[in-house]
Structure formats: C-alpha cells, structure tokens
Amino acid sequence: MSEQFDAIVIGAGQSGPFLAARLAGAGRKVALIEREHLGGTCVNDGCTPTKTLVASARAAWAARHAAQFGVVVKGPVTVDMAAVKARKDKVVGASVKSLTEWIGGLKTLEYIKGEGSFVSPTEVKVGKRVLTAPQIFINTGATASVPNWPGIKSVPYLTNTSMMNLDTLPGHLIIVGASYIGLEFAQMYARFGSKVTVIERGSRPAMREDADISAAIRSILEAEGVTFMFGTTVEAVAKAGHGVLLSLKCGDRLASIEGTHMLVALGRTPNTAGLNLAAAGIETDARGYIPVDDHLRTGVKGIWAMGDINGRGAFTHTSYNDFEIVADNVIDGGKRSIAGRIPVYGLFIDPPLGRIGMSEAEVRKSGRKALMGVMPMARVSRAKERGETQGLMKVLVDAQSKQVLGAAILGIGGDEVVHSLLQLMAAGTPYTTMMHTVHIHPTVTELIPTLLADLKPLQ
C-alpha cells in the first residue's frame, strides 16, 4: 500500500527544504526525502565550508603581509590545518543543526532519510516505503564530474567534496581544471602553504570570462605562487609513492608531473541516475539535466525540477530563486518565472569577482550598439588604502536605452559592489541615474559613476 501525501520533495538542497516548509506551512502533508544530508552542496561541501576555508587562508595571507602595514609578526607564519578544518566543521555543523531543528519542528512535514526513486508519475519509493502525491518536486543537485582517465580508479584523487576532509597540508596540490572551483582552491591552498599547479586544457583560466578578466585572474594567482599549465590534457594517472603521477599532453609534446594530492575540478554532473526517471516518463537532455519550462515544470504534469538538476542555473542563489518561483506559482497562485532572470554569480578568490548580465564577448556577439567602460582598481582610493589594487572594473551599457547590459568587478568588494549595478538592471533604470547620485567616500562603489562618465563606443 502506498502512503498518501499532498506533496513529495526529493532532495534537500537549497530549494527542497524551503519549499517543503512553505508547503507544510500552508497546511499540506509533505514528505521531504534526502539520501545524504540537509542543505545540499552549499551547506555541506560548497559555499559554506569553502568560504570558511577562504577566510582562514585570508588570515594567513594577512599575517604574512602584516609588515607592509607596519604590524610586526614575530617568527614564521604557519597554518594548523587540523584547526582550520575544525573551524570549518563547526560552521558547517551549526548550519546543518539549525536546518535540521527547523525542519523537524514542522508538524505536517515528514523528513525521510533515504534515496527516492520514481515508481510512476505520482509514486516515489524510499527503501521499503512507497509514497504517492499529486505534486512531486525534484531537487537532487549535482556532483563533481570525474573523467575516465586510465588509472583514475587506482589513485586517491580528490573532489570538492572529499577536499573537505583534508586536515593536513598537501606538499604539492595538482588541480585539474581552471574554472571557478579549481581557482578558489588554488589560491586557498597556496596561501595555506602548499605548492599548487593548475592544469587546464584551455588557453586561460575562467574561460567563461572575457580575456582581460581572465588575464587579471591569472596575474593575481601567479603573484601568489600558483603555477598554470595551459593547453594541457591529462592522458593517464598513476600512484607515485604516497602521491600521484599525471601523464600529460601539451600540444604535440608529452610530459608528466608528480604531486602529493590531485583535485579533479572539471565541472558537475546532475544527480539523475538513481531517480528512475523513466518510470515517471521524464527524459533528460544530452547532458543529463531535466528540461523544464520557465515555471520549472517538467514535461510530466505535477512534477517540477529545481536547482542544479534542471540546468537553468548552477548556483545556490539560482536554486533558492527556483524555490521562490515554484512557491509563488504552486502556493500563492502567482506567475513568477525564470524568464528574464539576470545571470549573476561570483568567483571567490581574493580579491573576488562579481559578474552580472552579459560579458563583452556576448554583447559583441549580439551585434547591438553598446558603450563600455574599463577602470583598473589601482585608480580606486579604497583599494590603494587597503594595499590591494589588483583587478579592474568593467561595465557595458546599451547605447540607445542607456540600460546596463552587464558588468564585471574584479577587486576588493567586487562581489558586493556589483549588486548596485544589478539593481539598475533589474529596475530598467538608465546608468545616468547612478552617475548623478552622490556616493560615500572612500568606497569602491563611488568610482562606478566616474567609470560610467567615461564610457566609449564598443568598436
């Protein structure tokens, strides 16, 4: 016999628990199924733990550079990785505990530990239980992609998840992949004191970004001792003593590199394998994602897909926004959708990158008439006062409507400063409004009006 619920939520990432809570708050009987832990990637092995580690790495960097600010630190600066991990675990544990207590206190919500898989479009099996509901919401997220290199199963490689268990300092950390996850770990561990080498098959780091942004990112990390190998692919891996040996191909040249640890940072794979989607009549696309419409509905009536699993956003903030949209549609009778959602994300190296809207390359490809302004952070008083002048600010606007098309702020506070431009975009406000607004001195944001006043036609 199947157990009747009003709604079933499969997966407890950044959409699932909040939607389950809203549904329960509306008086509906809800089952929340999670095979591993509440909070998903963000809380357990993504945003929360990595940014906690970034903070520790920042403290080590600041201590080593204290003399530049007239502060004397006697003796060499060392890092206690066990203490760093303990701090990270404490922060993560507090987040999970808070989420668990909140979910556990909701009277019409049952939290079920286990792996859910479809039996039919309205039924989900968890262990020996079969649950049924007219509405089912999928929020199973994604996991690190691991390539099928020869020898990969014989070496103790790391992913962003298993990196969270490290409590010792790698002597030589080899990172395969120079995108966002790889770059954050590269700087982090270089600051902790590891030798770090990043292998990338492309020609530059963060290939999604414009070339000038990538060049600035490379400069920042190389200045901290990170070594890059571009145009390089991994042909095979093998054990080497207590470490790993990578056989490489650089163009027509063969090479090898040995390290104590290897982190594979080559993207994410959606967690669809265990869902038995065929039983629900759901098909995935070529990359394994579940196609959805702008309201996050799948092709099967009564089933929604939220977060990383739908391929419409790969961030905590897009996943949470998915929850808000579905809740508005399903509970509040609204019409919110992801149509027109402005792309926005950050790269949390130090200094960070805040990115919104279109890149220069995307604007050029669109063929529209546009204006662009670029300013080095070395012109920003706040950056000079802090002694951190790396990076640049870049803004693109539509030449006719004067509306902001996109921006990249790579520099101190870049992940926060960029939101001032995001609000202009969301409101459809012309950039001239910000130009005519008085800003606080000395801040980073105060230089954006100066940048906007010097826009030039995009040639």
Supply the residues annotated as catalytic.
441
Dihedral pair phi/psi, residue 408, rounded to 5°:
-135, 120
CA dihedral 106, 312, 414, 39 (to 10 degrees): 30
173-200: buried (b, 16+ CB within 10 Å) or exposed (e) per residue? bbbbbbbbbbbbbbbbbbbbbbbbbbbb
**H or E element at residue 33:** strand 30-34
Alpha-carbon distance of 56 to 87, in angstroms, equals 9
Q: Are strands 227-229 and 232-240 parallel, antiparallel or unpaired?
A: unpaired
Alpha-carbon distance of 254 to 249, in angstroms, equals 5
Dihedral pair phi/psi, residue 233, rounded to 5°:
-120, 155
Residues 6+ apart with CB under 8 A from 313: 307, 319, 321, 322, 338, 341
Residues 6+ apart with CB under 8 A from 397: 370, 371, 372, 403, 404, 405, 431, 452, 455
Per DSSP, the three-state class of 346 is: strand
* Amino acid found at 195: K
Alpha-carbon distance of 161 to 446, in angstroms, equals 39
Alpha-carbon distance of 248 to 55, in angstroms, equals 33
Alpha-carbon distance of 33 to 38, in angstroms, equals 10
Alpha-carbon distance of 295 to 64, in angstroms, equals 50
